Amino acid sequence: MPTKTRTTERILDVFEAVMLSGPISLNELSANTGIPRSSAHRAAQVLERKGWIRPRLFDHAYQVTSLFSREFIAVESAHRIVERVGPSIKSFVSEYDLDAEIGIFSEIGIFDTLDKTERSYDLDTHQSLVMSPLALMAQLILPPELLVRHLDAYLQRANTGERNEITTGQHRLTLTELRKQGPMAISPYFAFPFNDRDKHYGAIVFKQKPSVKPQDHILSRIAPKFGATLDHLGLTTYPFGLDR
């Protein structure tokens, strides 16, 4: 891993201080971080240009911007859900010899895969709302008005093909068909879309490991048991297979 430059370290130190102690004055930043006042000011200017912090109008004390704080809170909340349900997923994976993954809408228009049993490089990365099986299954339980908000936001970063799927209405038709087919609509997954009391929406999917002989009844058998587990953990999962 490349060694961080002294300037980068100072920027990170200043940002951490603002995050933990803001609103915080420039003099306090210098005292808290041990960075000379002029260097702390330059680091703060870099962070201000990036949109991560801003000085208050009346006293110029630095605080994180609302954009960053919203994103931080959303991602933190998503990971708290994973931490809550992770041990149960691990237990079911071990008992039934399965693979699993969990993903959550961490922000409007942004769906992240947060954990999975298979080795992967796409953890904590934004998934396609059109192509990702996990994201598709999570969308099946979104209230109509919330689905519209997610799709409108996603259009800003969608590629041409995805844009066409959404704007022509084909994506909604796909969701309708998946909803009719139920939790095994996307082979080889068995899906548990869920939300919590704070209205974080996501999905957990299980599938049999490639090395195991396929047995559909194994996946069907875990449905009531895992559904009850999610309910015990304060997550609401939905039986689907009929139009809502």
Selection from 57-71, 75-89, 128-142 with the highest mean pLDDT: 128-142
Contact yes or no for 73/64 (Cβ under 8 A): no
4 pLDDT band (50/70/90 cuts)? low
156 pLDDT band (50/70/90 cuts)? very high
Contact yes or no for 101/118 (Cβ under 8 A): yes
Selection from 37-46, 63-72, 79-88 with the highest mean pLDDT: 37-46
Give the CB-side neighbour count of residue 210, counting CA atoms within 13 A.
2
pLDDT of 2 > 80? The answer is: no
Mean pLDDT of 175-203: 91
41 pLDDT band (50/70/90 cuts)? very high
78 pLDDT band (50/70/90 cuts)? confident
1 pLDDT band (50/70/90 cuts)? very low
pLDDT of 242 > 50? The answer is: no
Alpha-carbon gap, residue 184 to 207, rounded angstroms: 10
φ/ψ of 64, rounded to 5, equals -70, 150
Higher pLDDT, 62 or 6: 62
User: Phi-psi bin for 60: left (phi > 0), alpha (psi -120 to 50), beta?
Assistant: left
Weakest mean pLDDT among 156-160, 168-172, 194-198: 194-198
Kind and range of the H or E run holding 218: helix 216-232
Say if domain 6-64 classifies as CATH 1.10.10.10. yes
Q: Is the pTM of this model over 0.75?
A: no
Contacting residues for 57 by C-beta, under 8 A, at least 6 apart:
none
**Which pLDDT value is given to residue 75?**
66
Query: DSSP strand E in the chain: where?
Result: 53-55, 62-64, 98-107, 110-116, 125-126, 190-196, 201-208, 235-237
Alpha-carbon gap, residue 76 to 116, rounded angstroms: 18
**Which pLDDT value is given to residue 6?**
82
- Cis peptide bond upstream of 23, omega within 30: yes
Mean pLDDT of 180-187: 89
Task: Name the CATH topology of 74-237.
Answer: Beta-Lactamase (3.30.450)
Mean pLDDT of 58-74: 74
Closest CA to 86 of 202, 182, 185, 197: 202
Kind and range of the H or E run holding 59: none
99 DSSP β-pair partners: 207
pLDDT of 216 > 70? The answer is: no
Tens-digit pLDDT profile for residues 97-136? 899 999 999 889 999 988 888 876 566 578 999 999 999 9
- Cis peptide bond upstream of 188, omega within 30: yes
Task: Sketch the domain layout of the chain as residue ranges.
Answer: 6-64, 74-237
pLDDT of 90 > 80? The answer is: yes
Mean pLDDT of 15-34: 91
